[in-house]
Amino acid sequence: MARFTCPLSSSTTDIVILSIFVLLLRSSLFVSAVIGDPSTIILHPPHAGSNRHTMFLPLFPSPPNSSRISSFSGNGKSRRHLQKSDTSRPNARMALHDDLLLHGYYTTRLWIGSPPQKFALIVDTGSTVTYVPCITCEQCGKHQDPKFDPDSSTTYQPVKCNIDCTCDYERKQCVYERQYAEMSSSSGVLGEDIVSFGNRSELSPQRAIFGCENAETGDLYSQHADGIMGLGRGDLSIVDQLVDRGVISDSFSLCYGGMDIGGGAMVLGSVSPPSGMIYAYSDPVRSPYYNIELKELRVAGKRLPLSPSVFDGKHGTVLDSGTTYAYLPEAAFLAFKEAVLKELHTVKQIRGPDPSYNDICFSGAGSDASQLMKIFPKVEMVFGKGHKLTLSPENYLFRHSRVHGAYCLGVFQNGKDPTTLLGGIIVRNTFVMYDREHDKIGFWKTNCSDLWARLHNSGAPSSDMSPSPSPMGTPGHISPGSKVGSIIFYMFLNLKYSKLEPHIIELTELIAQGLHVNISQVYLLDFTWEGNESLTIWSITPPKPYEYMSNTTASNIIARIAEGEIKLPKRFGKYRISNWFIESDPNRTWVKNYMGVMIVFILILIFGVAGVVGWWFWRQKRPGGGILYRPVDSVVYEQELQPL
């Protein structure tokens, strides 16, 4: 879990003290002052519990002087709630990348500036600021994309110092700072520029305020992702800024892919809710987090013997996309663990992958995640008014990294903190709609890897689990259990092949760069041409020969192909991808095809030679060692001496 520090100006100290006092009365929030800096407030969230690829990026209330944008009118009411939902407003529909348990987060792509500069940002409902590394940052790590260069953008403007923000030492520009419990931090200046959401989005580019990092430490320094996309409640949140401008409705949605698949979909703005969506009330006044009204838990249809108040301690039940696992209060965790153990009969409890943690793991379940329902019980979360959300095993289990076919509980005790924290594992393969305008959060079980294509082709997610037909197939979706030997795609270029042929090697390098693979993985399988157009057929293979590509890696490559991430210079002309598909067997040369026969032949040869050598040594070890002895009384024939 993270913590947030905010240096306060003297003009707002009274307001902040009053706000903290109210929070203490309502939610028993633990507040302390930094030694040597009494004006800095630290909010301590729940204990982390485990650090294995786990992200803790929760929401904290923005300070009153957090930015020059204000979403409140003079009467103290939010202007957003005075606006009525308008289904005609466009949406920003974006793909999600990476995998929650492999990387600890999901990312989306955001383009900032003119011309646009691309960034991979962690999607976090618990953060209120969107920030990327600035080119002037000397204390930033090496991330996925180049740092943001304000001087290269013709539309960039610094947010000048004003009474509604924290200013730098020269009082020229607004600054921000975020610190996290695992000792990572981000700080920098605030700027404003045009933000684009990709060519798949209906929403046109919009001006927005974001952080330009000058320093980062800890996990933020070492992570592959470039920065954070803040979706929490706060003036600097990208959602709040778009809502305040009236360009989207006060809603957004996330859909995380399932176990071993990754990817998913994200929508800024509202979509028509599908039939069968389960809603939970979310009280924006109760806590600064996205909380839900959880009343009880059931395991295998049996209610845990817990009072509803167990899930209402401190901040209540918090839904946080930036946290990987789920964390329950002590009483709820012990009851949940005991109930799950009682339902398991065919698996054996084993040690976890990391001896530093007392993980609860089980072996003997098999590697096919789709069969886990036959072994592990279903879990139900019951909200207010009796609405129930059913969780499958992938919503509370993660794979054991060292034992094949073993799984561990992804639900932990939240130390002594009474807050219930539900991370991304709980909502895998669940379409989650954060309907902030109506103070509710909706849940709908679906295949999130398919949802991206359906959201792009229609205005609302369909209740049909099968994907909609698309000329590009289903971007990023690989069926569970599929073996990916290679990815094949067709590329049409508006260029004569005679002009294309000398640049094939360069084209190969550009494809490898756009798909984030090594050039050794990219092969030109075939080509043809007609008039001024050339057709090339390409294959993307696994990094190592004879091996399969992981489903997550394949999904990310396919998503990049579908999103047009292959960037070509003007001399290649325009291009389009007409089709893609996967092959279950890795691409094989003649040597690979007959490798099995060659190996058998070599083994036979080795065993044959070993047999002859062994027979010779056996003869040598026999009495006499292979030398023929004659009886002492035998006749010895005279032998003629040979000349030297």
Residues catalogued as catalytic:
124, 320
- The pairs formed by 275-278 with CB atoms below 8 angstroms and a separation of 24 or more are 275/463, 276/444, 276/463, 277/431, 277/433, 277/442, 277/443, 277/444, 278/383, 278/387, 278/388, 278/389, 278/442, 278/443, 278/444
Contacts of 604 by beta carbon, 8 Å cutoff, 6+ apart: none
Of all residues in the chain, what percent are helix, strand and coil, respectively (each to 5)?
A: 25, 30, 45
Beta bridge partners of 42: 5, 32
Q: What is the DSSP secondary structure assignment for residue 308, as one 8-state letter? A: G
Beta bridge partners of 191: 158, 210
Q: Which of 358, 287, 334 is nearest to 45 (CA)?
A: 287
Contacts of 596 by beta carbon, 8 Å cutoff, 6+ apart: none
d(CA 201, CA 80): 23
* DSSP, residue by residue, 453-489: HHHHHSSS--S-SSPPP-TT-STT---TT--BSEEEE
Residue 612, phi then psi, degrees to nearest 5:
-65, -45
- Locate all alpha helices (DSSP H) within 518-589, ordered by sequence: 551-562
Tokens 């399932």, residue located:
258
Residue 131, phi then psi, degrees to nearest 5:
-145, 150
Q: Which of 418, 318, 446 is nearest to 30 (CA)?
A: 418
Q: Which of 215, 212, 218, 222 is nearest to 139 (CA)?
A: 215
d(CA 180, CA 45): 10
CA atoms within 13 A on the CB side of 353: 17
Question: Residues 478, 554: contact at Cβ < 8 Å?
Answer: yes
